[in-house]
Amino acid sequence: MNQTRRKRRPDSSLSRLDSLSPEMLFPAKSPSLTSSRIRNIFLLLIFCFIIYIIFSYGTNFRREQISSIARSLSVFSTRRRHLLFSIAASHDSWLRRSSYVRLWYSPESTRAVVFLDRGGLESDLTLPPVIVSKDVSRFPYNFPGGLRSAIRVARVVKETVDRGDKDVRWFVFGDDDTVFFVDNLVTVLSKYDHRKWFYVGSNSEFYDQNVRYSFDMAFGGGGFAISASLAKVLAKVLDSCLMRYSHMYGSDSRIFSCVAELGVTLTHEPGFHQIDVRGNIFGLLCAHPLSPLVSLHHLDAVDPFFPKRNRTESVAHLIGAASFDSGRILQQSVCYDSLNTVTVSVVWGYAVQVYEGNKLLPDLLTLQKTFSTWRRGSGVQSNYMFSTREYPRDPCGRPLVFFLDSVGSDGTEGTWSNYNIHRVGHCHRAEAVERLERIRVLSPKLERNVEQMGLPRRQCCDISSPYNKSMVINIRQCMPDELIAMNT
């Protein structure tokens, strides 16, 4: 028994110095020592191989060949600089909406260009460089009542690729009212091999929009990404598609049709958000899927989603939180206080909801219908692509809601975030929660490697008791067989 345990000690190299140690008897059996030796030898061999290749081919060795070897090694993974963003805008909309782009674009670390219908704007170094789209009057457009600009916007794909920027792995397209969470997009795209053909995005939240366009179309405003290898081919053939699909409404339908003709289908990534809803998107933001938040769109059609902040400030506040722990933004954890029968849902970086009573997890993962339909008018049905539950009209029928106030780093690998109560109406609340004003959430940084991306698991949390005016919540990994439920 004793020996077995000793053999498993990870650091056997230290004990080898001790000539009397029992490990001396089993030096070769130490699994960690052997495997680390093999790994070192292996790494050395790879290094020698690369040096050999470079020297043996000399200066004639083509850069592409080096980079193809480099890409096949996992250490050369996709980074921010491998993404080129292309924003479709018009001269008039750009004046108003560039304030959204300024929030996620950084001149030092984001590669992006903006396509406008005409020039004449002063250059602004805090925004991506502006390009005036080429003339597209030769292409037909005959969707009744539609906008010809759809052709220009679709052709942004070709004009971006034709620029020939170096070292682009993914071409990303969006509108000027699309807000990207760039680091999360990098994480998501790292799952896929940019040397193969990929068309990555998401469809509309509004069922009827998908019926009208396609369930397999990446809706343009939510943003979509095309791998460099597919983009190069698409750029070559796009003009012929633009002739063939003149009867379609939008730019995204044109891209979708042309990609479909190349035999490629959409890779759905639920972090892209077209936001085809109006009004209050609290319910939508509070039930985000486990995948990282990649984009938000249609910000002018929705209410500011933080109290006492306008739209731009609301987005800035969310992006500010994401800068501390990008992977965790909008990720939902639920924990229970079984002593007082209280259920807490934390949506990191945005809001915390405190429910009186024992709420079952599946109910809390269902979207609260705080918003209204995208299309207005009688006969419009509110069918969504997810299950919803009613949001009580009476504020006293709703949970207590706390909105993000501030976020900070705890100096090591974690963050703290504070949420302040947002009182609506005079409601009678249970004794345990009636004085609550503030919630502080402590969490480790959510690191996701490529393996975890495929099978994410919701994290658990604990409520530190007792609490009175302020509550402290710790988020952590769940234990292997831990259930997210109240201990009863």
Ligand X SMILES: *[C@@H]1O[C@H](CO)[C@@H](O)[C@H](O)[C@H]1NC(C)=O
93 binds ligand X (CB under 6 A): no
310, 381, 387, 465: residue in contact with ligand X (rule CB under 6 A): 310
Could you tell me the smallest distance in angstroms from the CB atom of residue 316 to ligand X? 9
Could you tell me the smallest distance in angstroms from the CB atom of residue 420 to ligand X? 17
Close Cβ partners of 9 (under 8 Å, ≥ 6 residues apart) = 15, 23
Q: Report the distance separating Cα 159 and Cα 55, nearest Å.
A: 38
Question: Interface mask (CB under 6 A) for ligand X, residues 260-279, using x and -?
Answer: --------------------
Reported as half-sphere exposure (CB side, CA atoms, 13 A), residue 294 has a value of 26
Q: Report the distance separating Cα 330 and Cα 291, nearest Å.
A: 10
Could you tell me the smallest distance in angstroms from the CB atom of residue 435 to ligand X? 6
Could you tell me the smallest distance in angstroms from the CB atom of residue 378 to ligand X? 32
Listed ranges 1-9, 23-31, 304-312, 412-420: which one lies at the site for ligand X (CB under 6 A): 304-312
For ligand X, the closer of residues 230 and 439 by Cβ is 439
165, 167, 313, 434: residue in contact with ligand X (rule CB under 6 A): 313
For ligand X, the closer of residues 304 and 456 by Cβ is 304
Beta bridge partners of 472: 440, 464
459-488 positions binding ligand X, by CB under 6 A: 468-469
User: Pick from 320, 345, 336, 484: which is nearest to 415 by CA?
Assistant: 320
149, 229, 257, 312: residue in contact with ligand X (rule CB under 6 A): 312
Could you tell me the smallest distance in angstroms from the CB atom of residue 349 to ligand X? 20
What DSSP string runs through 232-288?
HHHHHHHHHHHHHTTT-SSHHHHHHHHHHHTT---EE-TT-----EEE--HHHHTT-
For ligand X, the closer of residues 311 and 328 by Cβ is 311
Lookup: tokens for 249: 């409404």
Burial zone of 149 (CB within 10 Å; 0-12 exposed, 13-18 middle, 19+ buried)? middle
Instruction: Map residue 452 onto helix, strand or coil.
Output: helix
Contacts with ligand X by CB under 6 A: the residue count is 7
Could you tell me the smallest distance in angstroms from the CB atom of residue 99 to ligand X? 7
For ligand X, the closer of residues 318 and 364 by Cβ is 318
Listing from the earlier edge strand, what are the strands of the sheet with 460-464? 332-337, 342-347, 351-356, 400-409, 414-421, 438-444, 470-476, 460-464
Q: Report the distance separating Cα 127 and Cα 97, nearest Å.
A: 11
Beta strands at 267-268 and 199-201: parallel, antiparallel or unpaired: parallel
User: Pick from 266, 260, 254, 258: which is nearest to 225 by CA?
Assistant: 266
Could you tell me the smallest distance in angstroms from the CB atom of residue 200 to ligand X? 31
Listed ranges 63-71, 77-85, 282-290, 308-316: which one lies at the site for ligand X (CB under 6 A): 308-316
Listed ranges 140-148, 209-217, 309-317, 379-387: which one lies at the site for ligand X (CB under 6 A): 309-317
307, 424, 435, 477: residue in contact with ligand X (rule CB under 6 A): 435
Which residue ranges make up the site for ligand X (CB under 6 A)?
310-313, 435, 468-469
